[in-house]
Amino acid sequence: MKTKQEYIDSLRELDLKVYMFGKRVENVVDHPIIRPSLNSLAATFEYAEKPEYEDLMVATSHLTGKKINRFTHIHQNSDDLVKKIKMQRMLGQQTASCFQRCVGMDAANALYSTTYDMDKANGTNYHERFVKYWTWIQDEDLVVDGAMTDTKGDRGKSPSMQDDPDQYLHVVERRPDGVVVRGAKAHQTGMVNSHEVIVMPTISLRPEDKDYAISFAVPTDAEGIFMIYGRQSCDTRKLEEGADIDLGNNTYGGTEALVIFDNVFVPNERIFMDGETEFAGSIVERFAGFHRQSYVCKVGVGDVLIGAAALAADYNGVPRASHIRDKLIEMVHLNETMYCCGLACSHEGHATASGSYEIDMMLANVNKQNVTRFPYELARLAQDIAGGLMVTQPSEADLRDETLGPYIRKYLRGRSDVATENRLRVNRLIENLTLGTAAVGYLTESMHGAGSPQAQRIMIQRQCNMEAKKALAKRIAHIDDSLNGENTEH
Residues annotated catalytic, as ranges: 98, 102, 189, 256, 291, 295, 297, 445
C-alpha 211/C-alpha 174 separation (Å) is 10
C-alpha 8/C-alpha 311 separation (Å) is 34
C-alpha 475/C-alpha 453 separation (Å) is 34
**Is residue 46 classed as helix, strand or coil in its secondary structure?**
helix
C-alpha 356/C-alpha 81 separation (Å) is 11
From the list 272, 276, 290, 279, the residue with the least C-alpha distance to 110 is: 290
Cα-Cα-Cα-Cα torsion 45, 234, 403, 386, nearest 10 degrees, comes to -80
Strand runs (DSSP E) across 220-297, as ranges? 225-229, 257-267, 271-274
C-alpha 363/C-alpha 433 separation (Å) is 27
From the list 256, 261, 283, the residue with the least C-alpha distance to 272 is: 283
C-alpha 223/C-alpha 221 separation (Å) is 6
Reduce the secondary structure of 99-127 to three states and give it as a string. CCCHHHHHHHHHHHHHHHHHHHHHCCCHH
Phi, psi (deg, nearest 5) at residue 272: -115, -5
Strands 144-147 and 196-199: parallel
CB 312 within 8 A of CB 430: yes
C-alpha distance from residue 262 to each of 222, 257, 302 (Å): 10, 15, 39
Q: Which DSSP state fits 240?
A: S
One-character DSSP codes across 48-92: GG-GGGHHHHEEE-TTTS-EEEGGGPPP-SHHHHHHHHHHHHHHH
Q: Which DSSP state fits 150?
A: B
CB 348 within 8 A of CB 339: no
Residue 263 burial by Cβ neighbours in a 10 Å radius (0-12, 13-18, 19+): exposed
C-alpha 313/C-alpha 362 separation (Å) is 38
C-alpha 441/C-alpha 364 separation (Å) is 19
In what helix (H) or strand (E) does residue 178 lie, and over which residues does it extend? strand 178-185
